Amino acid sequence: MIVDIQNYFKRHPRFNKLVGDDYLFVEYKCPIDVEKFQLFTDHHIINYVISGKKDWFGPDETFEIQGGDALFVRKGVYTTRQYLEVDYCVILFFINDDFVANFLQEHPTLKFNSQNSDFNQIYRIDVNDSFESLIQSLFSYFKQGGEIPKSLVEIKFRELMFNIFLNPKNRLLAEYLFSLYNREKTDMEYIMLKNFQYDLGLDEFARLCGRSLSTFKRDFKAHFKETPGNWIRNKRLECAKTLLNQSSLTINEICYESGFKNPSHFNKAFKEKYHLPPQQFRASLQ
């Protein structure tokens, strides 16, 4: 099961949080018995760990974070694993593309030229003294209790962005954030290629792409020349074909790994496209 983490935090009153139009700020204490789960977010996340330890699994690298560490995680689907020795406490900043673009629009002196177009999914954030002081000041407001003024949190969010852009050690992350300002719309093809294997509905794919469902369907067909449903199905079948050829996974494991939820549906769809059921297709390759 994939957890829509932003809506999860918004729905539950027990979390210390503040919700704005383009951002969400949450203090989260993860139960010690939750070791591993998969999450979906249509906002970028800045994580600052107060205590505990957790792994974030990116496409090409696993990031281990513990108390005092910070990560920037782009919107998408991720698996995390918590270490059970100690409670995991984290402060999360959720921001969308519009927040970043508006911030850079307000502060043109922060803009710079960059030719980089190959961006990571997850970035480590350099935690210097000013960054840590900013986080601790927010954390102290939560510990005091009572409602935090929205205007104060907006100031802290902007201060956080300043800290990232002005720290040379965060240059790669700053280049990615600056690319959001230059884009008219989220890169649909990149989003789809990174996430087609996950069990998301079309409305969730649309949210990742920064579009309404109707605009997503229209833009998708204009770009890919087919409907989202057909494209996702074909990409999953192509993925399954590759796994049958290049891995030792079982048929059921390949079914779930490539994005299908039901083995019988997977077998039927695979046979329709490749004229053999998966097991016979693998045997024919041998």
Domain end point (choices 182, 214, 238): 182
- Kind of pairing between the strands at 36-41 and 2-4: parallel
pLDDT digits (tens, 9 = 90+) for 28-71: 776 655 667 889 999 999 999 988 889 999 877 899 999 999 99
* Same domain as 86, residue 169: yes
pLDDT band at 223 (very low <50, low <70, confident <90, very high): very high
Q: Backbone phi, then psi, for 188, in 5-degree steps? A: -65, -45
The pTM for the full model equals: 0.84
pLDDT above 80: residue 147: no
Distance CA 134, CA 264 (A): 53
pLDDT digits (tens, 9 = 90+) for 232-260: 999 999 999 999 999 989 999 999 999 99
- Taking residues 145-157, report their average pLDDT: 78
Q: Name the nearest CA neighbour of 81 among 101, 55, 102, 62.
A: 55
The count of domains in the chain is 2
Domain end point (choices 155, 182, 209): 182
* Structural domain of 161: 2-182
* Same domain as 125, residue 228: no
CA distances from 185 to 115, 188, 190, 254, 257 (A): 18, 8, 12, 33, 29
Q: Backbone phi, then psi, for 105, in 5-degree steps? A: -65, -40
Domain end point (choices 182, 213, 231): 182
pLDDT above 70: residue 136: yes
CATH number of the domain bearing residue 157: 2.60.120.280
pLDDT above 90: residue 151: no
HEC secondary structure over 217-272: HHHHHHHHCCCHHHHHHHHHHHHHHHHHHHCCCCHHHHHHHCCCCCHHHHHHHHHH
Which of the two residues, 59 and 200, has the higher pLDDT score? 200
Distance CA 82, CA 36 (A): 6
Question: What's residue 32's pLDDT?
Answer: 53
CATH number of the domain bearing residue 279: 1.10.10.60
Helix (H) / strand (E) element for 37: namely strand 36-41
Average model confidence (pLDDT) across the chain: 87
